[in-house]
């Protein structure tokens, strides 16, 4: 079984995705992260295409990569320029990378309508561009752009283009599904024909696959291509890319290693996969896709009570792999579908001793389902659920009591933002506290007033930071009278936690979530000291 080569194009093809932007520093940090993962080749970009890419190729020379080899990307020469005077080819050489990848036209439609040259002239520029680069780089790859569409349009011409690339010295011919519309059934027959074509000529070139995801088949096409003898797999981290994206390496890598039994460098570092996936999303300022296979936060999350019970006995019942193999973890969710198994799993996680015969388990489960009927959701608010459990068990401490709050939003001029002020009255340890604070909006004002009142008694509250605040309207057919759910994500020096509140009044729902967040922080600190 031939060893596979994983080729990452996140820094080039991935950056063509909408809202996916990377600075030079980001690209360098991602390069180092992919190197640690064991990616064989990283496509750094198109030299000279933009200042960031130019700066990247200059800066990356200051770093030593342990395994990865960099490639520069570009096109075959302009028909009007000889290779030695073509700016694109010169820029590829000057990038100084270990490898160079160039693409050329395979589809006769592109030759005729985009390049506007004769078919034989296109064969010429493929041939002499590769011959020019062959002696000037260690690794030379040829991307046969639109190969599958070209094959379906004019099979003989598509095969002729890659035949010329093989003859000109390319180390690997990469078959590109550039429009992303090829289905696995089509791909199977086309690759088989390609292999038969070269076999008849007693030629055995290395072949690669570069799939896009416009028909939701990029991962399937890539895996199928490997089963047919393809050895270089191109893709991006998290499947980012233009339109619907590229083949997703975070799905392809574990599938090849764990399910198809292939060996390659990244297969030895699978436990780094989830962290790498989230690292790339973080640097690109994108929210990670929680439903992504293998590396998503929900990839090994269990919600139904029957599922949870079965997974606790044998994870194989509802998990196709051990999540730890790819650096992910199992999660047991709390929801209206929860059964006793979910409650017991969470109680163990929270350090609460309960068993299935304890009548309090049924009581907690009933209260949970009643609250979720009202619109509460605990899947993103485990801190609120732990407080709910401890309250039901009578083990929570009241750190303060509310005697009332008021929020005023006053607008005086159309061009001036409203001024928001909140006042709270609390009792802490028998002492009444009455404070007021301003804020950027009513919820922020309430948060400020609450902390102002409590920090004197509990100084550690100053360590808290609001990370996220979400409002969702429930049953929107009630219009402005609908219930809303507020989810708050808070962090301190030791971690982060989520809390929830539900009400017809957005201020009241926010208050509930804020109080739970503060209470959880104080409970956590108290537990740490005991």
DSSP string, 227-257: HTT--EEEEBGGG--STT-B-BHHHHHHIII
State the pLDDT confidence band at 332, using cuts at 50, 70 and 90: low
CB 184 within 8 A of CB 156: no
Q: Are residues 429 and 306 part of one domain?
A: no
Number of domains in the chain: 3
Ranking 90-94, 276-280, 288-292, 353-357 by mean pLDDT, the lowest is: 353-357
Model pTM? 0.71
Domain of 167, in residue numbers? 5-283
pLDDT at 460: 93
Same domain, 181 and 308: no
Looking at residue 316, its pLDDT comes to: 74
Residues 367 and 495 in one domain: no
Q: Give the number of residues written for the chain.
A: 530
Q: 135: closest CA among 166, 95, 161, 169?
A: 169
Point out the domain boundary residue: 392, 420, 449: 392
Pair 44, 129 in one domain: yes
Q: Which residues, 6 or more positions from 153, have their beta carbon under 8 angstroms from its beta carbon?
A: 107, 108, 109
User: Is the domain of 329 the same as that of 443?
Assistant: no
Residues 24 and 172 grouped into a single domain: yes
Mean pLDDT across the stretch 4-31?
94
The DSSP result for 268-330, as a single string, is GGGGGHHHHHHHHHHHTT----TT-TTTSTTTTEE-SHHHHHHHHH-GGGT-SS-GGGGT---
Q: Report whether 122 contacts 189 (CB < 8 A).
A: no
Q: Is residue 294 part of a domain?
A: no
For residue 135, tell me if it sits in a domain. Answer: yes
pLDDT digits (tens, 9 = 90+) for 64-89: 999 999 999 999 999 999 999 999 99
Tens-place pLDDT, residues 443-492: 899 999 999 999 999 999 999 988 888 888 886 555 666 789 898 989 99
CB under 8 Å to 205, separation ≥6 — which residues? 162, 166, 170, 172, 173, 198
Question: Within a domain: residue 290?
Answer: no
Helix (H, G, I), strand (E, B) or coil at 379: coil
CATH of the domain at 471: 3.30.160.270
How far CA 324 is from CA of 35, 36, 228, 299, 321, in Å, comes to: 21, 18, 30, 12, 9
Q: Do 377 and 269 share a structural domain?
A: no
Q: Does 253 share its domain with 210? A: yes
- Distance CA(371)–CA(387), nearest Å, equals 14
Among residues 336, 359, 392, which one ends one of the domains?
392
Q: How many CB atoms lie within 10 A of CB 396?
A: 15
269-289 in b/e burial notation, b at 16+ Cβ within 10 A?
bbebbbbbbbbbbebbeeebb
Average pLDDT over residues 11-37: 94
Q: Is residue 417 part of a domain?
A: yes
Same domain, 277 and 133: yes
Question: Is 306 contained in some domain?
Answer: yes
Q: In this structure, is the dihedral angle defined by the CA atoms of residues 302, 308, 310 and 316, taken in order, positive or negative?
A: positive
Within-domain flag for 289 = no
Radius of gyration over alpha carbons of the chain, in Å? 29
Given this model, what pLDDT does residue 333 score? 62
Is the pLDDT confidence value at 308 over 70?
Answer: no
User: How many CB atoms are closer than 10 A to CB 38?
Assistant: 19
pLDDT, mean over the chain: 90
One domain for residues 273 and 191:
yes
Residue where one domain finishes, among candidates 346, 364, 392? 392
| pLDDT tier at 379, thresholds 50, 70, 90 | low
Least confident segment among 243-257, 290-304, 497-511: 290-304
Is residue 311 left, alpha or beta, with left meaning phi > 0 and alpha meaning psi from -120 to 50? alpha
In a domain, 295, yes or no: no
Does residue 381 register a pLDDT over 90?
no
Rounded-to-integer distance, Cα 334 and Cα 345, Å = 10
Q: Give the C-alpha separation, 236 to 9, whole Å.
A: 5
Q: Is 65 left (phi over 0), alpha (psi -120 to 50) or beta?
A: beta
Q: Which residues pair with 122 in a beta bridge?
A: none
What CATH number does residue 254 fall under? 3.20.20.70
One domain for residues 444 and 377: no
Instruction: Round to whole Å and give the CA distance between 50 and 499.
Output: 44
pLDDT of residue 393: 82
155 and 234 within one domain: yes
Instruction: State the DSSP code for 20.
Output: -
Note whether residue 265 is domain-resident.
yes
């Amino acid at each position: 079984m031939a060893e596979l080569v994983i080729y990452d194009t996140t820094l080039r093809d991935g950056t063509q995705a909408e809202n996916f932007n990377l600075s030079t520093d980001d690209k360098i940090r991602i390069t180092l992260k992919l190197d640690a993962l064991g990616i064989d080749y990283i496509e750094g970009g198109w030299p000279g295409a933009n200042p960031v890419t130019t700066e990247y190729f200059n800066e990356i020379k200051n770093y030593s990569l342990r395994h990865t080899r960099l490639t520069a990307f570009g096109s075959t020469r302009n028909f009007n320029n000889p290779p030695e005077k073509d700016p694109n080819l010169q820029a590829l050489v000057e990038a100084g990378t270990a490898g160079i990848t160039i693409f050329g036209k395979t589809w006769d439609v592109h030759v005729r309508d985009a390049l506007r040259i004769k078919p034989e002239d296109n064969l010429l520029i493929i041939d002499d561009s590769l011959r020019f680069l062959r002696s000037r780089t260690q690794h030379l790859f040829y991307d046969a752009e639109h190969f599958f569409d070209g094959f379906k349009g004019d099979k003989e011409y598509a095969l002729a283009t890659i035949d010329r690339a093989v003859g000109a010295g390319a180390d690997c011919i990469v078959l590109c599904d550039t429009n992303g519309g090829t289905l696995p059934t089509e791909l199977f027959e086309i690759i088989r024909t390609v292999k038969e074509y070269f076999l008849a000529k007693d030629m055995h070139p290395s072949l690669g696959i570069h799939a896009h995801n416009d028909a939701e088949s990029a991962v399937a096409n890539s895996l199928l291509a490997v089963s047919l003898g393809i050895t270089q797999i191109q893709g991006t981290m998290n499947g980012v890319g233009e339109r619907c994206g590229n083949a997703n390496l975070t799905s392809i890598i574990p599938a090849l290693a764990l399910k198809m039994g292939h060996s390659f460098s990244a297969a030895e570092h699978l436990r780094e996969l989830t962290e790498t996936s989230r690292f790339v999303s973080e640097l690109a300022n994108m929210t990670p896709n929680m439903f992504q296979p293998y590396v998503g936060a929900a990839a090994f999350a269990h919600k139904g009570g029957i599922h949870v019970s079965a997974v606790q006995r044998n994870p194989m019942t509802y998990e196709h792999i051990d999540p730890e193999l790819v650096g992910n973890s199992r999660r047991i969710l709390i929801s209206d579908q929860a059964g006793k198994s979910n409650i017991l799993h969470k109680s163990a996680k929270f350090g609460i001793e309960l068993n299935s015969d304890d009548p309090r388990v049924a009581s907690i489960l009933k209260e949970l389902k009643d609250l979720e009927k009202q619109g509460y959701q605990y899947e993103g608010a485990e801190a609120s659920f732990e407080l709910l459990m401890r309250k039901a068990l009578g083990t929570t401490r009241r750190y303060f009591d509310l005697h009332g709050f008021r929020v005023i939003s006053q607008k005086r001029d159309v061009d001036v933002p409203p001024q928001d002020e909140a006042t709270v009255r609390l009792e802490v340890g028998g002492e009444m506290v009455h404070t007021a604070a301003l804020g950027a909006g009513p919820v922020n004002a309430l948060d400020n007033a609450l902390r102002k009142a409590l920090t004197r008694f509990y100084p550690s509250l100053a360590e808290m930071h609001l990370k996220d605040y979400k409002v969702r309207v429930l049953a929107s057919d009630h219009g402005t009278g609908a219930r809303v759910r507020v989810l708050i994500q808070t962090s301190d020096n030791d971690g982060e936690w989520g809390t929830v509140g539900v009400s017809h009044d957005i201020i009241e729902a926010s208050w509930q979530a804020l109080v739970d967040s503060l209470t959880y922080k104080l409970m956590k600190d108290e537990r740490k000291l005991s």
